[in-house]
Amino acid sequence: MGDSGRLAHCPAAVLPLALWVIGPDWLPGSRARAGPMTGVLTVNSQTLLYLVVGVAVLGLLIFRNLRAQPVRQVNQRLFIILGAIGVFEAYQYLSQHHAGSIGILALVGSLVLAAVFGIIRALTIRVWVKDGQPWSQGNVLTAVLWIIALGAHLGYDALIGAHKDISGLGDATALLYLAVSLAVQRVIIVTRANRLDLVSGANARQPSWPA
């Protein structure tokens, strides 16, 4: 695969970052491309790109989780952006590599892993009622589980990477992995908040008797 093909796998939203990481000397048509190590350096640069983007998104997710915020006022744009780019990247990878059923199964396994971590993290997040509405806030354990989740994804990618037909699948689906994990966590938090609303509402409707 040529340099232009590798650049095509970079998320569209982070293409400027990709060009900065790879550098102008490695762009298609550059005279500095010559040399036996060029292909190796390009592959490493692409992997570094996905790693940088993944870590940056992870840091943002941890920051948002550790901040106390109303459950129903959480901005959903990050989830939408991650999901859209993640689906596009996964589709592009599967269609260009013709991974077939093996690639689909590997992707499903990755998303199941993401969902499991989303469930576990949701249990570490505190949900309470303040000023008549539910709030949520994570803790250090929540942040640690986010880091472990990304590490598990990288480990899973290394495990399935031995199969040449799906090599690089983990890199191409990192954002989708984070989006699914975030979505599962979000669904559980909202469910807990709704139950808390019901309990609070029932208690508010009970008559108060004078002592």
CA-nearest of 83, 85, 106 to 167 is 106
> What pLDDT, on the 0 to 100 scale, is given for residue 96?
81
Residue 151: exposure state from Cβ atoms within 10 A (0-12, 13-18, ≥19): exposed
User: Poorest-confidence range of 32-41, 96-105, 106-115?
Assistant: 32-41
Quote the pTM value: 0.72
Residue 100 has pLDDT above 70, yes or no: yes
Q: How far is CA 126 from CA 13, 53, 130, in A?
A: 33, 28, 12
Residues in the chain: 211
CA contacts within 13 A on the Cβ side of 162: 4
pLDDT level of residue 199 (50, 70, 90 thresholds): low
User: Poorest-confidence range of 24-33, 47-56, 156-165, 175-184?
Assistant: 24-33
Return d(Cα 29, Cα 56) in angstroms, integer.
30
Residue 78 has pLDDT above 50, yes or no: yes
pLDDT tens digits for 11-58? 444 433 333 333 333 333 333 333 443 443 344 576 677 778 888 889
> What pLDDT, on the 0 to 100 scale, is given for residue 146?
96
pLDDT level of residue 182 (50, 70, 90 thresholds): very high
Contacts 24+ apart (CB under 8 A), 139-146: 139/66, 142/62, 142/65, 142/66, 143/62, 143/65, 143/66, 145/117, 145/120, 145/121, 146/58, 146/61, 146/62, 146/65, 146/121
For the chain, what is the mean pLDDT?
75
- Within 98-173, residue ranges assigned H as helices are 100-122, 140-160, 169-172
Check if the beta carbon of residue 142 is closer than 8 Å to that of residue 68: no
Helix (H) or strand (E) segment spanning residue 189: helix 174-205
Return d(Cα 186, Cα 80) in angstroms, integer.
13
What's the whole-number mean pLDDT along residues 60-81?
88
Check if the beta carbon of residue 150 is closer than 8 Å to that of residue 185: no
Task: Report residue 92 CA to chain centroid gap.
Answer: 17
Return d(Cα 149, Cα 10) in angstroms, integer.
22
Look up residue 188 and give its two tokens. Answer: 């559980």
> What pLDDT, on the 0 to 100 scale, is given for residue 167?
75
